[in-house]
Each structure stands twice: as C-alpha cells, then as structure tokens.
Amino acid sequence: MSGDTLTPELVYSLLVMSIAGVSAWWSRYIIENIVALRIAVFVGVSSSIFMIMNSPG
C-alpha cells in the first residue's frame, strides 16, 4: 500500500487495530481480564476485516 491509496477509512481502521492490539495485551498480561481481552480481539479483527473489504484494488 502506498501513501496514495490510504483513504481516511483505512487510516482509521489501522488506528483502531493498533489500539485494540495494545488493549488486548494489557487485558491479558497487566489487568488479567479475559472479557476485556475478548472484546479487544473482536474489535481488532472487525477492524481488519473492514480494512480488507474497503482497500482499493
């Protein structure tokens, strides 16, 4: 992906994916909350699916 193909939706999806990844790590290792871990993983996977479906080309 070059800089020309990054739409605002793709940038937003990348942001949400990165935040979800950090949240999942914190939920697993720091606060040890399995429910929060599952929510973070669901949000991250949903964001990656959205990004794949909306990628140009």
Structural domain for 26, as ranges: 3-53
Do 24 and 41 form a contact (C-beta atoms < 8 A)? Answer: yes
Do 49 and 22 form a contact (C-beta atoms < 8 A)? Answer: no
pLDDT in tens, 4-22: 678 888 889 999 999 999 9
Q: How confident is the model at residue 38 (pLDDT cuts 50, 70, 90)?
A: very high
Dihedral sign, Cα of residue 29, residue 34, residue 39, residue 41: positive
> Count of domains in the chain?
1
Q: What is the DSSP letter of 23?
A: H
List phi, psi (to 5°) of 4: -75, -25
Report yes or no on whether pTM surpasses 0.75. Answer: yes
